[in-house]
Amino acid sequence: MTEETPNQARNNLTLTQEQYAAGYSRGFTLTKRFLGARGVGPDTAEEAAQAAWSRAWERRAQLRDPKRLQTWVNTIALNLFRNGCRQRETSELPLDIAVRPLTSPRAIDLLRVLEKCKPEDREMLHKHYLAGYTSRELAAQGKGTASSVRVRLLRLRRRLQTLMREKRVQGQCAGAAPSAFGKQSSAVQGS
């Protein structure tokens, strides 16, 4: 009895063109329904499903279990849709939109504190907390490893908290009565 090498075992698991075609004919509509159930419009669902099946064909050697083809393609389709939404959000922002001014003192303080950050730090904070990028996605953009991105975000948060505390203390000092710092209070003078 001969043992299979890992390459032979992998070749046995690789989908043939006929198997993939059969999976496509069965699964394309299911992928569209899968996306539709997650709130994706019919036209967008069809585009994402087509792109997912194309991408799956290109990368079919990465599929570990041919029985999982439908699940794998659905995951690809959902990721393609999400990434497309993120890219549209950032590329379709008009530059001349009217924005209601921030009136909250804390929001104004936060904007002033953020101005003290480096531009790449502000960008990372924006992408992570406002655009919803994960640490892995930020790392893939050349920001280091996923763990280094998480550490950097932690340090940035702590720095912002410290700067906000200092800003609050400065604001309290500026609004305090002059006798509290310039002269001793009457209670101290009387003793």
Question: How do the pLDDT tens digits run along the chain, 191 residues long?
Answer: 445 454 444 445 677 888 888 888 898 999 999 888 888 888 888 888 989 998 988 888 888 888 888 999 999 998 888 887 666 555 555 555 555 655 677 777 778 888 888 888 888 888 888 888 888 989 998 878 999 999 999 999 898 888 888 877 666 555 544 434 344 444 444 43
Q: Label residue 185 left, alpha or beta by phi (over 0 means left) and psi (-120 to 50 means alpha).
A: beta
Quick one: pLDDT at residue 90? 56
pTM across the whole model: 0.41
Residue 108 CA to residue 101 CA, distance in Å, equals 10
- 142 HSE (CA, 13 A, CB side): 2
Which residues, at least 6 apart from 136, have a Cβ–Cβ distance to it below 8 Å? 146
Domains along the sequence of the chain with CATH? 10-89 (1.10.1740), 105-176 (1.10.10)
Quick one: pLDDT at residue 187? 42
Alpha helices in 14-145 (DSSP H): 17-36, 42-58, 69-91, 105-115, 119-125, 135-138
Quick one: pLDDT at residue 177? 44
CB 150 within 8 A of CB 136: no
Rounded (5°) CA angle 69-54-9: 45
Quick one: pLDDT at residue 10? 47
Report phi then psi at 171, rounded to 5.
-65, -40
Which residues, at least 6 apart from 17, have a Cβ–Cβ distance to it below 8 Å? none
